[in-house]
Amino acid sequence: MSKTLIIAEKPSVAQDIVRALTPVAGKFDKHDDHFENEQYVVSSAVGHLVEIAAPEEFDVKRGKWSFNNLPVIPPHFDLNPIDKNKGRLNALSKLIRRKDVTALINACDAGREGELIFRLIEQYATPAKGPLNKPIQRLWLQSMTPAAIRDGFTKLRSDEQMLPLADAARCRSEADWLVGINGTRAMTAFNSRDGGFFLTTVGRVQTPTLSVVVEREEKIRKHVSRDYWELRANFDAQAGQYEGKWFDPAWKKNDDLERRADRMWNAADAEAIAKAVLGKPAAVTEESKPSTTSCGGLYDLTTLQREANSRFGFSAKTTLSIAQALYEKHKVLTYPRTDSRFLPEDYVAVAKDTAKMLATEDLPGPLAALSKHAATALKEGYIKPTKKVFDNAKVSDHFAIIPTLQAPKSLTEIEAKLYDMVVKRFLGVFFPPAEFLVTTRISKVDTHHFQTNGKVLVKPGWLAVYGKDVDDEDANLVPVNTGEVVRTESVDVKALQTKPPARYTEATLLSAMEGAGKLIDDDELREAMAEKGLGTPATRAATIEGLISEKYMLREGRELIPTAKAFQLMTLLRGLEVADLTQPDLTGDWEFKLAQMEKGKLSREVFMAEIAAMTEKMVAKAKGYDRDTIPGDYATLKTPCPKCGGVVKENYRRFTCTGKHGDGSDACGFSIGKIPGGRSFELNEVETFLANKKIGPLEGFRSKAGWPFTAELALVYDEEIANWKLEFDFGEDAKKAEGDGEPVDFSAQASLGACPKCAGHVYEHGANYVCERSVGETVTCDFKTGKVILTQPIEPAQVTKLLATGKTDLMENFVSNKTRRKFKAFLAYDKKEGKVIFEFEPRAAKPGAKAPAAKKAPAKKAAAKG
């Protein structure tokens, strides 16, 4: 009997599909890697199982990262299995090739990436001798409730309908490969010309996003604060006091963005006005106008990420993972990876049913307060067809994020916060506008004008959903009778300074990415720019996280701060005139073209030809650059030259002494590289290094072969060259000193615990945690463990736990020296070996496998080296 194979993106979704189909298609039997009944075989990937790669003759090995092998533009792309998922890939391939499987259904996530995951698996499983000849259909789900899944199976899309999306998916993947591989290897080759290995990653979306952040930081650094003054006067009226702010009614906007109507630019003018108006009467005129504000539109993913970052400090990645759990695990939200803020026009009845669920279900905790607003919306008939909510023309393959008909049962605190945001927006968008009375009062003292603004909530409208009521609002402006003359009771002159623009947060960077580098707050303009943004709603979080993991940006609180490595990359790309990688609007145009391709309006061949041309131009610019340095905006250090006390200046590759006059005329020859061991110096680090002659331990160095390591840096005087030079200090000198050196005073430190070897006390010392008896004049113990092991910082609290219990918590950011991949492990003390080792989690038993009753699989162990 012929069967249809359904392939989901994740095992949990495959289980949901089985549960939804069982009532209509019969019971499924569970096997190791799939479920099966008489009609269907259901299995899943675990995300991406294969990756695209150049054919072997075009492949570029790590050791050959030179211009000789670039550009790499293969005529086609082969597929390589991803090692860790190879078992799952082979299992799916066997299912796809089964003779009784005569049709396939792609049930991967409903988007570009889900399409790519399925298409690549199907391509890999297709025998070399010929096509599979098995028809393909697409399950396109907006909601993961059983009813929505069953409904999806009644509306399967044809393979022909999905081909434009498949083309766009392949183009996105291949374009990112071409730009990433060629750009990264060209820039790495350029930066490694003088030796070493300075990995310089670039990407089609990542690099223009970084450009946005660097340009903002450059404005902040170049900003020169200007003094200005503001005047605030207190006026006595019969009903009480109110404050007014001085302004110039004749002022008009100009090119100087720091000039405003309420700012004065010298103290004498401000003091003169304050003196002139103090104690004087003021004539009052005022105008009151009704004003309304409407609730913002429904959420798409980017808007949800922006607001969750502003309100709760959630990273874009965190918001996406929470929304995905609410969709996939709890089934209480619709598909989150959407770029639409509208619902289909035939969805009015569903919206009403959703409001009924919210009104009648016993929602947990703080969510219960939303029930009355849902009931109000139904009772007052607020949910009705309106273009602000229901508009087919503005629904892409997905609609806005809204609650499903399933009530939440057991959400975590952060899941409840995000669900609450979505429910409030869903209800608020149907409520009437909030109504205010806005009053503008002008108090005129002789020729000087002071403005006072008042705003009173008259009808809360949609703000009621957010807990606002008329009773909560105090009238914030004392009344003045018609014709009443008030008195200027006091005047305060405030001396202030202009401020630089604010650094990007994830909320503002997501907005800038959405607008291809332009901060967009206007909803209509944002909608117009949506298809020209940097990346897609589904990929922006990963782009930001990628820039942080590559050490191009740091996350400090809510601010995103570009590093020295970021500035160096931008200097290089600008100097090489590789505009395609630095201009967000230009790269945003590629995203627009991919969206056009999804709609069948642009061919795959035309797009890939443009990407190939961009790649060739980028490599040619880097390969053909023949000057010694790259022009740029470089720093002058505050710390003097360690040899002659002269001025040390930065250029593209080095920090160099330019002599006492700073013009190079009497330079002493001192210089150090800016990127020792492939790691860029931050300016504050190099200042500290020159002042103290040492710094560290620092992470992020790379060997010539590209492996990461941690080390201290020392500035050492070399008699042969009669100058100071930079050296790595891996602790060898400290090791010698530890043998029969000076006594070490640990009296200022608290012990972290007892040494597992000799029961002495363990303390921090240099780059290690050491037994007190392993250093100083007399050494009787050799216990020590690194503060940083395979790039994972080891906190003192973990060492305390290790010493007390024999094992740390599970840590996630170790990086293998061999594979350069992250891995998780415990640190444990091995009494037999007498040292700290890695201990790995035991592997879970395969489904259906029986473990011996009395035995437990031992955890794997390996030596832990710093």
**Could you give the CA distance from residue 14 to residue 9 in angstroms, rounded to a whole number?**
8
Active-site position among 335, 347, 419, 769: 335
- What single-letter amino acid sits at 866? G
**Could you give the CA distance from residue 326 to residue 510 in angstroms, rounded to a whole number?**
22
**Phi and psi based region of residue 742 (left: phi greater than 0; alpha: psi -120 to 50; beta: remaining):** beta
CA 369, 370, 372: angle at the middle one, nearest 5? 85
Q: Which two tokens stand for residue 96?
A: 């796809």
**Cβ atoms < 10 Å from Cβ of 793:** 14
**Could you give the CA distance from residue 218 to residue 679 in angstroms, rounded to a whole number?**
21
**Could you give the CA distance from residue 42 to residue 36 in angstroms, rounded to a whole number?**
6
- The number of C-alpha atoms within 13 Å of 840 and in the hemisphere containing its C-beta is 11
**Could you give the CA distance from residue 655 to residue 221 in angstroms, rounded to a whole number?**
19
Which residues in 511-527 are b (16+ Cβ under 10 Å) and which e?
Answer: bbbbbbbbebeeeeebb
| Catalytic residue status for 552 | no
Residue that the structure tokens 């049709």 belong to:
103
Q: Which two tokens stand for residue 16?
A: 């949901």
**Could you give the CA distance from residue 95 to residue 31 in angstroms, rounded to a whole number?**
12
Nearest CA to 752 among 729, 716, 783, 724?
A: 783
Secondary element (H or E) of residue 78 = strand 78-81
Secondary structure (3-state) at 387 = coil
Question: What are the start-end ranges of the E strands in 238-280?
Answer: 240-247
Residue 416 phi/psi, 5-degree rounding, is -65, -35
**Could you give the CA distance from residue 235 to residue 244 in angstroms, rounded to a whole number?**
7
Q: Which two tokens stand for residue 766?
A: 């240099």
Q: Which two tokens stand for residue 656?
A: 């160099």
Cis peptide before 697 (omega within 30 of 0): yes
**Could you give the CA distance from residue 463 to residue 428 in angstroms, rounded to a whole number?**
7
Instruction: Please give the distance of CA 806 from its chain centroid, rounded to a whole number.
Output: 36
Output the DSSP codes for 637-676.
Answer: -SSPPTTT---EEE-SSEEEE--TTSSSTT----EEESSG
Nearest CA to 612 among 73, 30, 133, 38?
A: 73
β-partners of residue 490 are 234
Secondary element (H or E) of residue 732 = helix 732-740
Secondary element (H or E) of residue 5 = strand 3-8
**Could you give the CA distance from residue 469 to residue 465 in angstroms, rounded to a whole number?**
10
Q: What is the dihedral of CA 11, 16, 19, 20, to 10 degrees?
A: -140
Task: Return the active site residues.
Answer: 335
